[in-house]
Amino acid sequence: MRDFVTGMVLFILACLSLVWAIPAGVIQFGEPESLALSAAFWPYVIASLLGMLGFLLLVQGGLAVLQGKGSQQTPICSKSLRVLYSVLLLIPYYFLAESIGLLLASVLAFAAYSLLAGEKNYKKLTMLAVVVPAAITVFFIHVAQVLVPLGPVGHLFS
């Protein structure tokens, strides 16, 4: 039930942001060279992602309530240790991003954080660990037009 309510609140906040807060609050003086430099671009991206994630959480929470299921994930350690490990995982991520590029480092970090959160479905974990960072990379390269250090896999996105 908590997922359903949280998803509903996030979705409503995102809709209010997209329809009212961003148009009323963001002033743009001329057209920028790159879409990523637009004053309203990132607020719209963040609000859209928040809305999509809120909607997915709302649906997932609603289905869980209808089926009477709780969370099936079991974390591998306590909450305070997970927070500590999450912060400590940023250190190897930083060094890996410098040496092998952001995409491969993000794939490894996504998998590590998923395991830390208690994900047990390794097939789903592997697929998402590859697809999510690749989709984010494609977004930054082709939509936001931001240079992303890709390391040895840079030729795949040229």
The per-residue pLDDT for range 43-100, each reduced to its tens digit, is 999 999 999 999 999 999 888 888 876 555 555 567 778 888 889 999 999 999 999 9
pLDDT at 12: 96
Mean pLDDT over residues 100-120, rounded? 92
pTM of the predicted model as reported, rounded to 2 decimal places:
0.64
More confident residue, 157 or 92: 92
- pLDDT tens digits along 128-143: 999 999 999 998 888 8
The pLDDT assigned to 67 comes to 85
Q: Could you read off the pLDDT of 10-56 as tens digits, one per residue?
A: 999 999 999 999 999 988 888 877 777 788 888 999 999 999 999 99
User: Which value, in Å, is the radius of gyration of the alpha carbons in the chain?
Assistant: 19
User: How do the domains of the chain map onto residue ranges?
Assistant: 2-67, 79-157
Average pLDDT of the chain to the nearest whole number: 87
Q: For residue 109, what pLDDT is reported?
A: 95
With a pLDDT cut of 70, the percent of the chain lying above it is 94
